[in-house]
Structure 1
């Protein structure tokens, strides 16, 4: 019960990772707003069913939850989502940005619409709920009311290392990391921490990638790709215990948790003047020889 009575919003909570997060927060004593549009894995259609089914699961275990069908990639929808938490439970303590879908394609074959759709749901769909939750927490802090709030964003290994055939998704997920770092720096003064996870799990978006693991699971092995494995870390990051952790990215898969170390200043040379382009070749070669070798892009 490490999140007892905390009010939690989870976007994209009708299926997969979001559903697992919502159920875990409920098990840990939180009151949960289950946000989901019920679209397909490629973002088409829509249904109220998935969000309401998760709400019923939470209520069946004795928890408190409400469904929300706001489009979090619109300003009005994100504002309405925050208002739902405030109206239903009287506050907001945790925002888990999770909603997303895929439109995979090699770059030379990708349409502008496929690029824009993925950017909209992942990157804009993180920014707008974060903005409106941040406005609420800033107002609370300025009014002298204590704030101990959390934001957990969802990046991906594709955003950290790249993934062939997923240029739009990789760019959006990399953008989420940058957004996380900026939000952590800007919102800390109001009592808000902001972290990101890069999960690996079997969901509608990855079921083909991890399908082979099901044979081993059928024989009794630990299901390392189950989405429920990711949620304990998300719940802990949403708890009061994590108040000293912010601006971090965690890779999580099965029983593994890894603190990701992103861009850092590496080998450097400085002549104190403008370089001649012809002189840079040997210098760059030397710097690269000293630098760590990049991890490979997924699928390369």
Structure 2
């Protein structure tokens, strides 16, 4: 069967040549016909409009989606699972950029830059911290969590991890299981960094009930998915002082509405889902996404298990 790839994500001339040389036919969203949509076998990137049209055809040939993002909660995973459609994501592609943004959040608040940003008269602000004074827990020990840990470790701060199993991961002082934090939560934690996906197990996980486990915090960071944080309760915690500062790159509703209370919290910074950004790649697309596709392509063509960034459709990540 001829493999037909729908290039939702733009391909460079070199990338197109690589695919053509392996017998892949390419069609773009602006030129794809109705008959071609039914015969698309690979979607490079995902278009909700075109993707739903493909899935609506009972005899569609879609077999593999290489998604352009890391979080896949917006994809129709149940439909993919029912039709045994493979999904690979872009997890890790933007890890360095995201990790450096997280370091900047910590520096911003720990070194008092948020205070000096607004001051227009000389007034010394000395309530500043060095990072080794801020023991940190990173929720999610995947590629992004590991990159964050590697960037923070040289500062001498204790760094713990949380994942679904409690399996130990290099780069963390210790890793705990998500469902066992009540009995093992380390003392003195000042910073929580969330990189978790939004799944039934993690939706609104960061809420007032779980805040009781970790007590008062210096900083809560979310670079995972917006739905993992109960924003109403976050605002209440910021106003009461239970959480001193917060940095959100992701929110439940994007763009954040102009009348949202999130904008009104002076101890909260919103970076508006741009922690991935790099001026060299002004769009979300990066050649590394194609590298993941290319790495898996040989296995796919040989009807073998895919190698890299395969999404577990039942877990949602």
TM-score, length of structure 1 as denominator length:
0.38
Select the structure of larger CA radius of gyration. 2
TM-score by length of 2: 0.36
Q: Which structure's residues are more often helix, by fraction?
A: 1
